[in-house]
Every structure is written in C-alpha cells, then in structure tokens.
Chains A and B, each alone.
Chain A
Amino acid sequence: MLAVDVEKRLGDFAVRATFEAADGVTALFGPSGSGKTSIVNMIAGLIRPDRGRIRCGGRIVFDSASRHDEPPHRRRFGYVFQDGRLFPHMTVVRNLDYGRRMRGLARDEGEHERIVNLLDIGGLLERRPGKLSGGERQRVAIGRALLMRPDLLLLDEPLASLDTARKREIFPYLLRLRDETAVPMVYVSHNAGEVRRIATTVVRVEAGRVTGIGGTELLEMNGDAL
C-alpha cells in the first residue's frame, strides 16, 4: 500500500496531495497541468517535496520531519515515462536488462521470458530504440520498468504520446499487466476512458489538489471532457 502526503511549491503553482492507494491500479486522474506528474515525480524521488511523507508498504521513502529522503535508485519504483526514455546507445535487450544489472540482481530467465512474451517484444531484442515505432518503444519501456522487479510501478501518461491506433495496440498489454502481475501501479492519465477501464482506485487531481478519492464513479462527475 502506498501512502502519500506531500506539499511542493513550483513557482506560482503549489501541489498539495494526500491520498492512500491500495494494491491494484490507482489512477491519478485530472486535466493537463493539474500537478499529476509532479506528484509521481515526488513518489519516484525525482522531485523533493517541501514537506510531507511518502510510504510504500512498511517502508518510508520520504519524511521531511525526520529528514529522510531515499534517493531514486534505492526506492525500487519502476517508472514508465510518457516519452519512453529508452537509452539510445543500448539495444532493446540491454535496455530491458539495465535495472536488473544496476540493482545487482541475478538473471531470472523465466521472468525475462514471461515479460518479453507478455509485451510481445521478443522480435525487437537486438534493435536500437531509434529503430522502434512509438508503440514498440513504450512496450519496451514498460518491460524495462518491470524487469527491475519494482515494489511499485509508476506510469505517467504512458499512452499520451501515441496515436489512437497505437493506444489500442498498447492498452491490452496494460490490462494484462494489471491482471497478471502482482505489482501495484500508479497510473497517471487525463483520459477518462482509459482510467475507467484500468483503475481500481481513482484519485482526482485538480489545480494541484486532490479533489476526490474513490471508484470510477468519480469520472462521471466531470464527464469525459477532462
């Protein structure tokens, strides 16, 4: 379980977010510019909150009161970025293997194969990211985050940079991910349709504030206009 209680001032904009996320998929849902990505970056350790506390399971990764701030590389949170961020100088297989190597974990062929099959990226392994389509790149990015064996998976608008056809291509993989892996996920999106299909808990974020926590009924109150 993830418990977040953070405050951060970013120029004129302030983010203040308090929520708890059960296992399954917690969607941070809200319009662009509402501070969702900032919240996820604070969870990942890429932005340091001005004040607050972040706990994952029994582990406190950030606590301003005791000045505890675990650096990102020790948090063990997989992060799938909107723009993929594959390493351009490594082949797909080296990208996939990166997290495991950095964490010094033993190679688990079975798990590797399972995730490669789950995401259908077996045919891409020797290619470079520059030679992949947008959808392929995003699938590899998801695989890379999973193969580091994260305690939590953060997905920041993983479909936003893709066209409709590519979105349809990737989305089933995300649903399989939810159903076939035990990793809790935080899924950031402004798209009500996506959130309705994938989320177990919805955290609605507007103008840097959490304005509702609940089930998918929260999506209806604002309609799909968001």
Chain B
Amino acid sequence: MFDLTPDEWTAVRLSLRIAIVATVVALPFGVAVAWLLARKDFWGKALLDGIVHLPLVLPPVVTGYLLLISFGRRGAIGAFLAEQFGIVFSFRWTGAALACGVMGFPLLVRAIRLSIEAIDRKLEDAASTLGANRAFVFLTVTLPLSVPGIIAGMVLCFAKALGEFGATITFVSNIPGETQTISAAIYTYTQIPGADAAAARLVIVAIVISLIALIASEWLARRAGTRLHGG
C-alpha cells in the first residue's frame, strides 16, 4: 500500500516546499514583531498585536478571502507586487506559501515573544554597559537566548503551514501540482469514489511528517538548552 503515486508525491513535495518556504520567510518578520511586542512600547502596539493574532481567531476562509482581495491580481498589494517585482501570488504555490505563512505567523510570534520576555533584561543592561549598542545587544544576547523559542515557533508555524487548508484553498484554489497540498489532496480524494486508499496513504504521510518535525524540534530544543545553560 505504501507506493505513493506520482500525483501523491507531487502533493507531498509541494506541501513540504510550501511549509518550509512559509516558515523560513516568516521567521525574520516573526522575530522582529516578537521583539517589538516584547521589548518596546509604542503607539498602536495593541493594534499590531491584534492584527498579528487575527488569523488565529478568524475563520481561515475569511483570512483566505482577505488575502484574495488584497494579494490577488486585482488586489492593491497584489497588483503592485506583480508590476514592480513580478511577484505573483494568485493561483501559484507562492500564494499557498503566503497563506500558510500568514496562518502560522501568530504561533511563530507568540513562541518567540514569550522566550524574549523570559530573558532577564538585566543581561541586556549589562551588555550595554560593556559597550554593546542596541543592535549588538540584540544579536549577541537577546537573539541567542531566545533560540529555544525560535525553534518552538518555527515548528508550530511549519506544522500549521503543513495542515493549512481553508485559507489556502480560498486564496489559491486546489490545483494539482501548483497549489494542491497534502491537506487539499486528501480532501479531494475523499470526494472521489474509490480513492480511499490514496487518502489513507497521504494521511499516514502527514502523520509521519508531523511526528518527525516534533521529534526534531524536541532534539534541537534540548541541544539549544544545554548550549545556553552549560549542562
């Protein structure tokens, strides 16, 4: 039963690519927003916090719809990016990655923010008395000490991206080979009579990938923990 058909492989590869790209591209933004929320007071902070968390509470279909009207070909941002940089999201795998990144973003930010908040600010003060300017305080103290949170956030974001369905299918549809991820493929196979085995195979693949990601993150977090605290 475990011979995946070429179509199923395509969905698996596409899912991995989308989830990895979504997580990696979201990461620097996630770190920046997490740091702002954890360490800075500014006008509109509550608003930023709210916007970041919106995908967590909105129905995914609504998020997908909002992406469609803003990043679609006729959307304000989508048209601008297509004209200026040739970046097109609608009905492309890049759009799926965008949808997945947006959906995973709150989880990413939350994990990193918590770990930054847990860092003793006194260490950052100490670094500044030793001659480190703000950028170096961040790079040499804050960032390395928040690595466990960054790992946790990346795994959550990756898992969310892998499982994302509603926003993706609303924004970029369900096109085999372009936007049909594992989740969308499983959904499709359950709608086709006689494709139960294909759906089951992809379900197993999804479980295996998720477990591997979880185990890898545990291992990385433990390594980072011993590196940080000299165990």
B130 lies within 8 A of A98 (CB) = yes
- Select which of B125, B127, B131, B227 is within 8 A of A87 by beta carbon: B127
Q: What A residues does B120 contact at CB under 8 A?
A: 85
Asked if A72 and B125 make an inter-chain contact with CB atoms under 8 angstroms apart, the answer reads yes
**B132, A88: Cβ atoms under 8 Å?**
no
Alpha-carbon gap, A102 to B141, bound state (A): 12
In the complex formed, the residue of A with least CB distance to B136 is A102
Point out the residue from B123, B127, B133, B136 that lies within 8 Å of A71, measured CB to CB.
B133
Q: Which residues of A contact B125 (CB under 8 A)?
A: 46, 72, 85
Cα–Cα distance between A127 and B231 once the two chains are bound (Å): 10
**Size class of the B contact interface (CB-based, 8 Å):** 20 to 34
- Contact segment of A2-10, A74-82, A115-123, A168-176: A74-82
Tally of A-B Cβ pairs under 8 angstroms: 76
Is A148's beta carbon under 8 Å from chain B? Answer: yes
Nearest CB in chain A: distance from B121 CB, A:
10
Which residues of chain A have C-beta atoms less than 8 A from B131's C-beta? 73-74, 76, 99, 102-103, 148
Q: How far is the CB of A88 from chain B (nearest CB, A)?
A: 6
Q: How far is the CB of B141 from chain A (nearest CB, A)?
A: 6
Q: Which residues of A contact B (CB under 8 A)?
A: 44-46, 71-79, 81, 83, 85, 87-89, 98-99, 102-103, 127-131, 144-145, 148
Q: List 18 A-B contacts (CB under 8 A).
A: A72-B129, A79-B126, A81-B122, A85-B122, A85-B125, A87-B141, A88-B229, A89-B145, A89-B228, A98-B132, A99-B130, A102-B127, A102-B130, A102-B136, A102-B140, A128-B229, A130-B229, A144-B130
